[in-house]
Amino acid sequence: MKLTINSCLPSECSPLPDFNNLEFGKHYTDHMFTMAYSPQKGWHSPTIAPYENFSLSPATLVLHYAQEIFEGLKAYTRVDGTVGLFRPRDNFIRMNNSARRMNMPEFDVEVAYEALQQLLKLDKRWVPPQEGASLYIRPTMIATDAVIGLKPSTSYLFYIIMSPVGPYFKIGEKGLNIFVEETYVRAVRGGIGEAKAGANYAASLLAATEAKKKGFADALWLDGVERRYVEEVGTMNIFFAYGEKVVTPKLNGSLLPGITRRSIIELLKSWGETVAEESIDIQTLLTDIDAGKCTECFGSGTAAVISPVGSLHYKGIDHPISGETIGPVSQKIYKALTDIQYGKAPDALGWTSTI
C-alpha cells in the first residue's frame, strides 16, 4: 500500500501549546493517520492528512455495541535531540491481539509502524523538548458499519492521533492511597480484560469515581469470581517488592498484558533479580505488608511509567507500605526505564528506535 501524505500549509498549522503546562489529552498535533477496511479491499487508503473531525452516522456500529480497541505509546525528545520511540511494534502487535478478541481485522504491523514514523516526521515540532514530557500516541480502531444490529462490523477505520503531555509522576511524591474494591470488578476470565478495549475502561469508571469520593486515589481490582486475588490497580498493572524479589499477578485472561509490565519484568531479569508471576491473595498480601515482608507496591503503565502505592485500604483498615512514598526498587526501575526512553542510558535490550 502506498501512503498518501497531505500536509497542512504553514499558515494552517496550529500554534504550539506551552510545553511547561500541558494537560493530558487537551492539545492535538497538526496531522493524523487514517486507514480504512472493507471486505472487498481489505485495509486500504493509508493517508496522513490534517487533523479533523469525523462524520459518522448516528447508527454507526461502534456507537452502539462498542466494537473498538486502542493503544497508547509515547515519543520522546532524547538527550541527543533525536525523537525516540519505546517498543512501538509491541504496541501494534498487542493491538492485533485485541483485534482478534474483539472480532476485528488485523493489520500489517510494519505498515502501521511506517505510517507512525512518517506522522512523527511531519509533526516533530510537537514533541516536547524537556525531560519528563512526551508526545502521547493513540492508535485506535473502530467499527464503522451504519447499522443498528448486533453483529461484527464489515467496515473499520484505523487511525492515529497524537497529543503532547507533561509528566504524570515526580520522584519523591507521596504514594497513592488505594481503595481495595470488593463490589465491582474490572473484567473476568474469558471476557475482554486482556484486550485494550474501551469497554474495559468504561467498566472501571464507577468504582474509580466512588473511590475518589471516599478520598482515595483509585481502586485496586480483585478477581471477578472469588474477589480474592489481586489483578490491577486503576488502569495499571501492579507489582509488589519483597526485598529484592518482585511479584506481579500472572496473566490469566482478565489482565491487560502491559508493555511497561513486560519491560519491568525483562529489565529485572537482566539485572539478575528474582521476578515471580503468580496469584496474589489479598489477605496474604496485607498480612505481609503489615509484617514488613512486602516492602513496596507500585503500578506500571505507559502514562505514568511507575506510580508508587503508599497504602491499601481494605475493609475499613489502612495498610501503609514503604513509608507511603516511593521505595528504592520502584525508584531504580523508574530511573532505568526513563533513562532508556530519553536516551540517557544504553538500550541493552533493543527496545528503542529513533525517527
**Confidence label for 244 from pLDDT (cuts 50, 70 and 90):** confident
Q: What is the pLDDT of residues 81-112, one digit of tens each?
A: 999 999 999 999 999 999 999 999 999 999 99
Question: What residue ranges define each of the domains in the chain, with the CATH number in brackets?
Answer: 4-165 (3.30.470.10), 176-341 (3.20.10.10)
Contact 218, 176 (CB under 8 A): yes
| Residue 169 confidence (pLDDT) | 59
Contact 138, 161 (CB under 8 A): yes
Q: What is the H or E stretch that residue 313 is in?
A: strand 305-314
Strand partners, 138: 161
**Confidence label for 151 from pLDDT (cuts 50, 70 and 90):** very high
Cell 501524505 found at: 5
Q: Which of 62, 55, 73 is nearest to 102 (CA)?
A: 62
Contact 156, 104 (CB under 8 A): yes
Strand partners, 76: 84
**Could you write out the DSSP letters of every residue in 178-212?**
EEE-SS--S--TTTTTTS-BHHHHHHHHHHHHHHH
pLDDT at residue 174 greater than cutoff 70: yes
| Residue 182 confidence (pLDDT) | 96
Q: What is the pLDDT of residues 44-63, one digit of tens each?
A: 999 999 999 999 999 999 99
Q: What is the pLDDT of residues 328-349, one digit of tens each?
A: 999 999 999 999 999 999 999 9
Q: What is the pLDDT of residues 287-333, one digit of tens each?
A: 999 999 999 999 999 999 999 999 999 999 999 998 888 899 999 99
| Angle formed by the axes of helices 88-101 and 109-122, nearest 10° | 130
Contact 45, 88 (CB under 8 A): no
